[in-house]
Chain A
Amino acid sequence: MKTSSYPLSNIVKIVFLPIGGFALLITAWWLTAKYLTNLMPTPLVALKANLDYLSNPFYVRGPGDVGIGFLLFQSLKRVLIGFLLGTIVAIPLGFLIGLSSTANRVFNPLIQVLRPVSPVAWLPVALAVFNLANPSAIFVIFITSLWPTVINTAVGVGSVPKDYLNVASVIEMPRWKQIFKIILPSSLPYIFTGLRISLGIAWLVIVAVEMLTGGQGIGFFVWDEWNRLNLSSVMLAIAVIGLAGLALDLIIRKIQSYFKIEQIEG
């Protein structure tokens, strides 16, 4: 009896419980729209209103009227460029801080002060320098991507087991080689943790940045549709942003598992 009930309870766990979570949210939305405000569409009305977006995500009908897939693509492009630039700076900087106590003394206080600053606060600085919306948005994402990667890389480099380094020094491996053969592989899990956090925050920040800079992108789309009192599109955008964020995290986890990092040592 007990064994036969297991698969069923698994199906409940894997399929029905998550569906229940979404159902709760949609019910709350539906009740809010029905009884509390006349601005908000009910889920069914929103779905009907969004049919065009959903069936033609990549249409271009003019500079200000393009499909949501296209907007998403623009935002992703900014995030990926900014994130890559940030990573290129952050990983070496994290190594430097993790390896050199002098570098740690120089950069650590700076990082501690700058890390709590909302990256959006950098936007005016970027606009003053670049004078253009797009590079400024990328710059903000660049700043966003720095801190978690720098900090996690430095921690990873600092927590390489002493035994590994002892082995390296007993076989007289030069320091630069130790960095690539011992320290880098050993700290990869930390680096990836940093990268995942960075990319996650970058995806959060791009929406806010685009609301401010305008132009083509999913963030400005949210603000623009609100200004037209078109909350159906806003609800769609929220769903799209969430799914895209989930996809980004899945991709980076796939890359991580590709490196087959095994840290468990008995």
Chain B
Amino acid sequence: MMTPTNNNPKKLLEVTQLQKQYTNNGATNVIFDGLDLTVYENEFVAILGHSGSGKSTLLRMIAGLESVSGGSIVLEDKEIKKPGKERMMIFQNYALLPWLTVFENIKLAVDEVMPHMSEQQKQDHVSEHIAMVHLEAAANKKPSELSGGMKQRVGIARALAVQPLLLLMDEPLGALDPFTRAKLQDQILELYYKRHQTIILVTHDVEEALLMADRIIILKAEEVASIGKVIEVPFEHPRDRVKLREHPEFNELKNQTLKLMEAYFEQMQVGS
């Protein structure tokens, strides 16, 4: 676990002078113009921003699903050019294949990523990850038979079954009701503790970011998107949602962050 006192952490991901622009009908639209970001091993980083702040674009570039216009993204000394299994993604819309069962959805990924395993080992590996998100009873169900929260647990199990170096989450809980959301936040944190997984979470929910992350990168979008502020979250893991909410420092930080986000939102309105 990364805590602010932890010295000498190992760099896992380095984003240097990142540029991104789209050309649309001859007009060039610059999203990023020289963004720097470092993510350390075992760190839980949240990227916080409004819609249109470029946070999803940044995550998709790290995933390799979106091309980079300039600068570099380097993961463990290897420059990222295309998608890869060491950077597994969890999608907001779950991205489960509707014609496959829960088991088969995860198996599809395991088959691709772990070809060296025997069939039995693969099946055990899948079952183990289904158990990890407590979906044993739904293993043979199709996604259409599951609730949103269950679907996203399948997404999480699939992503972790691949054993990525870096887990990327693109507003994974955005489509869920508040209570399911809270439950899944706790489950994700639990997995984070258990697996020492490095995670980048994209969200627009201040409380979610404060509750889960070690460090919060707040993006602001003026003419181009840039890092507005970095918050080192001072709370020790494992965190308890109920206790944190009663913590004066937590509420103070939450209010400050919300104010900052509101200010960024105003700037965006002026800019556009």
* A→B interface (CB under 8 Å): 161, 163-164, 166-167, 169-173, 177, 181-182, 185-186, 188, 260-266
Contacts and interface: CB of A to CB of B under 8 A. Distances in A.
Contacts of B93: 163, 265
B4 to A, nearest CB: 32
Contacts of B84: 170, 172
B99 A173 contact: no
A262 B91 CA distance: 20
B142 A262 contact: yes
Contacts of B142: 262
Q: State the 5 A-B residue pairs at the shortest beta-carbon distance, nearest first.
A: A163-B95, A169-B83, A171-B112, A170-B83, A171-B109
A164 B113 contact: no
A185 B82 CA distance: 25
Contacts of A164: 95, 97
A171 B113 contact: yes
Contacts of A263: 98-99
Given A169-B82, A172-B113, A261 B108 contact: no
A163 B91 contact: yes
Interface stretch (B70-78, B116-124, B143-151, B187-195): B143-151
Nearest to B93: A163
Q: Is the interface of B mostly helix, strand, loop or mixed?
A: loop
A266 B148 contact: yes
Nearest to B164: A170
Contacts of B63: 170
Interface string B207-229: 00000000000000000000000
A170 B99 contact: no
Nearest to A265: B98
A181 B98 contact: no
Nearest to B145: A262
Contacts of A266: 143-144, 148, 151
Contacts of A260: 99
A181 B108 contact: yes
Nearest to A173: B112
A266 B83 CA distance: 25
A182 B91 CA distance: 17
B86 to A, nearest CB: 10
A173 to B, nearest CB: 5
A116 to B, nearest CB: 33
A144 to B, nearest CB: 30
A186 B93 CA distance: 16
Sort chain B's interface into a size bin.
Answer: 20 to 34
A265 B113 contact: no
A166 B91 contact: yes
Contacts of B82: 169
B244 interface: no
Interface of B: 63-65, 82-85, 87-89, 91, 93-99, 108-109, 112-113, 142-144, 148, 151, 162
Contacts of A170: 63-65, 83-85, 87-89
B148 A172 contact: no
A185 B89 contact: no
Contact of A265 (B65, B89, B144): B144
B91 A265 contact: no
A265 B144 CA distance: 6
Contacts of A264: 98, 144
Contact of A172 (B97, B112, B144): B112
B23 to A, nearest CB: 18
Contacts of A173: 112
B87 A262 contact: no
A264 to B, nearest CB: 5
Nearest to B89: A170
Contacts of B88: 170-171
28 contacts: A161-B95, A163-B93, A166-B65, A166-B89, A166-B91, A167-B89, A167-B91, A167-B95, A169-B64, A169-B65, A169-B83, A170-B63, A170-B65, A170-B83, A170-B88, A171-B109, A171-B112, A171-B162, A172-B85, A172-B113, A177-B112, A181-B108, A262-B98, A263-B98, A265-B93, A265-B94, A265-B143, A266-B143
Contacts of B89: 166-167, 170
A21 B23 CA distance: 60
Contacts of B64: 169-170
B63 to A, nearest CB: 7
Contacts of A186: 97, 99
B85 to A, nearest CB: 5
A166 B113 CA distance: 15
Nearest to B95: A163
B204 to A, nearest CB: 20
B99 A185 contact: yes
B111 to A, nearest CB: 9
B58 to A, nearest CB: 16
A42 B96 CA distance: 60
A265 B109 CA distance: 19
Nearest to A169: B83
